Structure 1
Amino acid sequence: MGNDLGALAAELVRTDSRSAVSNLAVAERVEAELAGFAVERLDYADAAGVAKRVIVAHRGGPGGLALSAHMDTVPETGWTEDPWSGAIRGGVLHGLGSADMKGPLAAILRAAQAAPRATLILTTDEETTKAGAREVAARSALVRQAAPRGILVAEPTRLAPVRGHRSHINVTATARGVQAHSSTGLGSNANWALIPFLMELRAIHATLREDPAWQDAAYDPPFSDFNLVLDNHGTAINVTVPVATARVKFRYSRRMDPAPLLARLERAAGECGVALDIAREGLPPELPEDHPLVRECAAAAGQAARTVPFGTDASILQDIAPCVILGPGDIGVAHTPHERVALAELDAARDLYLTLLNGTPASP
């Protein structure tokens, strides 16, 4: 069963599907694995006009489990060898997306092929906007027909079931100046307008790290991610900066109310004269430890359920059915230039997914 799982995963790694490019090639390759399934294609264009495709597939009666994975990857930042080599060395698959998510994607495909009843939710743009998952939640007739009782979201968890994770809010602050040759004194540098707002961001970052009221002991680390990226959009050193942008990814858990922090940001932006855009994904998904799906996954995996600080499509897919995040690979190597996953772990993931697809639900 599935002796070619590693070969399929390597082939998927070799197909470029970074979030900024179209995923149609990888979607078509995935669909070639879905003989015997009813298949629904949900096509859309992202904000840059790039063609994207989400796939929902189902066979068997309604009410079973769904397996979900995303087809996109992060950019190839930092790679010094071919990110799309799909090289297998010593039983380990290397390459961009090998752990997040081409390897897990191959594992759920092989598991679904071996099960008499299975639903597949295969998204894209998970690494950016969660737009693919939103398309499924808003438009999929097939997922409503399949009526899954739960969704297993494949992400690198070392095959430990994850019952909850943080969700993010993306904050973009933009300051504007006047471009000119910097020697003339005729320009206005947008960075000087942005700096006072950055000082408030620094203060918020310290609050999240130091104030227990803004922390959640159920997560490791207990403090929220508040990651800052600055951008002068390629301005040269001898040009006054016309546009300066600060972007923050803020992650929070279910027990936290982000409203006071967002109000603080809006107040600071108004005082500093910068434009502010706030984009929220779905609420943080979190199931109780005694939820039937959590107990079922913990029993099958032989590991206690836990929480994680990173986010997944579960923040959106939870609107369809309860979600547990479960998959092969180590999140510690995801999004790095040495991403990899052991083929033995992909095999174990396939077998675990198949056990859950064929298993008896835990009683409420």
Structure 2
Amino acid sequence: MSKTSTDANPIDIAEKLIACPSVTPATGEVFAVLEAMLKPLGFTVDRFLAGEAPDGPVENLLAWRTTGPGRHFAFAGHLDVVPPGNGWASDPFRPEIRGELLYGRGAVDMKGAIAAYVAALHDLPEDLPGTISLIITGDEEGAAVHGTLALMERMAAHGLRPDLCLVGEPTSSRRLGDVIKIGRRGSVNMWIHVDGVQGHVAYPHLANNPIPRLIRILSAIDALVLDEGNDWFQASNIEITNLDVGNPTTNVIPAAAQARISIRFNNEHGGTELVDRITAIAAAEGGRVEAKISGEPFLTEPGMLSDMVAGAIRDVTGVEAELSTTGGTSDARFLSRLCPVVEFGLNNATMHKLDEAVALADLRDLAEIYRLVTAKALAS
């Protein structure tokens, strides 16, 4: 395909995307810019809004191109970014190159990776059979309720289901290519409530203090050892993240006490199982539990997809990638329901920080890695 060097330059593409403010939940200009880049490459583009306030509306973009029968390879990512905060050396939404770095909110997480993939599309052979799709949300950094899940429904409506998926999250740790994510732990947050009877501290027999019961609940939870980890996952962990009785006075027994816990769990557990376990502990002391399961764990066993990504990294950078399941959650937890999925992208050292920046050389190398992976996935 005959395109100008600017069209195919990941640095120029990244600058255009960064220049569009898109704090989560994102809508509008940044999606129009990406659509304008994809349509000349022969992609059908479906943009749509999902959800309402407070977690929406969210804009999502699904793009696909089919050049004949064959495998369907998908690239997934997000155009929303976290708020930039104060104290940047330059405007976070005015991309700026200083030395060998490109600065701007989203440079790493993850407009840079999307730019690299769009650049890679320009250099793919025209005769590659199969389908390429881009699954791009504006809701990864927020509630993640109206983003990738809505995109998956949209894909089903269009009769699209990928065979392999690469998520462009910034997985690299020390240098580009050193880490590929083949799985993630699940996440669940729980709110524990214990009711009592308010009263004067001098007349405890007329009150019912909820705090000792909450302490016993938390002590039992803290003593739990969920597992020791396994071949691909670190041990699951429970953390107490908040404790509150809302009592500003010194001579009142409070009427209620609350705590919050967060569990990151590996594939030896399910979210519902853990909620039931904590609920039983709380119920023994008269407590009740509310829970939100943010995601279940997933694992893509090492094989064809991770081998293709690792091979492309080796060819471009000479780096031997480590396969890992560490870190927080990502939208791969949803996409893993459809097909094998791995995550690979830029160095994550500055993501979510002031003066977020990506190395120009990394953007170029990432575009070439993505090109090799896509070509291999469709040619296999």
The answer, yes or no, to whether TM exceeds 0.5 is yes
Distance 1:355 1:140 in 2: 25
User: Which residue of 51, 55, 67 corresponds with 2:75?
Assistant: 67
Counterpart check, 1:80 vs 2:84 = no
Task: Answer whether contact 1:99 1:340 (CA < 8 A) is retained.
Answer: yes
Task: Quote the RMSD (CA, aligned, Å).
Answer: 3.9
In the TM superposition, 1:1-364 aligns within 5 A as: 1=5, 4-19=9-24, 21-35=25-39, 36-46=42-52, 48=54, 50-61=56-67, 63-76=71-84, 79-81=86-88, 82-115=91-124, 116=126, 118-131=132-145, 132-141=147-156, 144-145=159-160, 147-158=161-172, 159=177, 160-173=179-192, 197=214, 200-201=217-218, 204=221, 207=224, 213-216=227-230, 218-219=232-233, 222-224=234-236, 226-230=238-242, 246-257=259-270, 261-270=274-283, 276-289=289-302, 291-302=303-314, 303-309=320-326, 310-330=328-348, 332-359=349-376
Task: Answer whether contact 2:16 2:33 (CA < 8 A) is retained.
Answer: no
Per the TM alignment, residue 44 of structure 1 is displaced from its structure 2 partner at its CA by 0.6
Task: Answer whether contact 1:174 1:244 (CA < 8 A) is retained.
Answer: yes
Q: Which residue identity lines up with residue 308 of structure 1 in the other structure?
A: T
Report the counterpart of residue 317 of structure 2 in structure 1.
none
Q: Which residue identity lines up with residue 64 of structure 1 in the other structure?
A: H
Distance 2:211 2:93 in 1: 38
Bigger radius of gyration among the two: 2
Distance 1:118 1:228 in 2: 43
Distance 2:186 2:114 in 1: 22
Task: Answer whether contact 2:73 2:378 (CA < 8 A) is retained.
Answer: no
Q: Percent identity?
A: 26
SS of 2:182's equivalent in the other structure is: strand
Task: Answer whether contact 1:165 1:311 (CA < 8 A) is retained.
Answer: yes
Per the TM alignment, residue 114 of structure 1 is displaced from its structure 2 partner at its CA by 3.7
Task: Answer whether contact 1:34 1:113 (CA < 8 A) is retained.
Answer: no
Per the TM alignment, residue 120 of structure 1 is displaced from its structure 2 partner at its CA by 0.6
Per the TM alignment, residue 72 of structure 1 is displaced from its structure 2 partner at its CA by 1.7
Residue 119 and residue 260 in structure 1: after superposition, are their counterparts in 2 closer, same or farther (change >3 A)? closer
Task: Answer whether contact 2:188 2:271 (CA < 8 A) is retained.
Answer: no
SS of 2:278's equivalent in the other structure is: helix
Report the counterpart of residue 187 of structure 1 in structure 2.
none
Per the TM alignment, residue 154 of structure 1 is displaced from its structure 2 partner at its CA by 0.4
SS of 1:161's equivalent in the other structure is: strand
Distance 1:121 1:156 in 2: 16
Q: Which residue identity lines up with residue 75 of structure 1 in the other structure?
A: P
Per the TM alignment, residue 56 of structure 1 is displaced from its structure 2 partner at its CA by 0.8
- Extract unaligned runs of 5+ from structure 1: 179-191
Distance 1:97 1:71 in 2: 8
Q: TM-score, normalised by structure 1?
A: 0.78
- Extract unaligned runs of 5+ from structure 2: 198-208, 315-319
Residue 25 and residue 306 in structure 1: after superposition, are their counterparts in 2 closer, same or farther (change >3 A)? same
1:52-99 per-position Cα deviation (integer Å, ceiling 9, x unaligned): 11111011335231111112223345x422443433222212333221
Q: Which residue identity lines up with residue 166 of structure 2 in the other structure?
A: L
1:238-273 per-position Cα deviation (integer Å, ceiling 9, x unaligned): 9x9999875544222223455554233213444566
Q: Which residue identity lines up with residue 126 of structure 1 in the other structure?
A: E
Task: Answer whether contact 1:168 1:281 (CA < 8 A) is retained.
Answer: yes
Q: Which residue identity lines up with residue 54 of structure 1 in the other structure?
A: N
Distance 1:279 1:8 in 2: 37
Task: Answer whether contact 1:295 1:362 (CA < 8 A) is retained.
Answer: no
Alignment length, in residue pairs?
346
Distance 1:74 1:46 in 2: 19
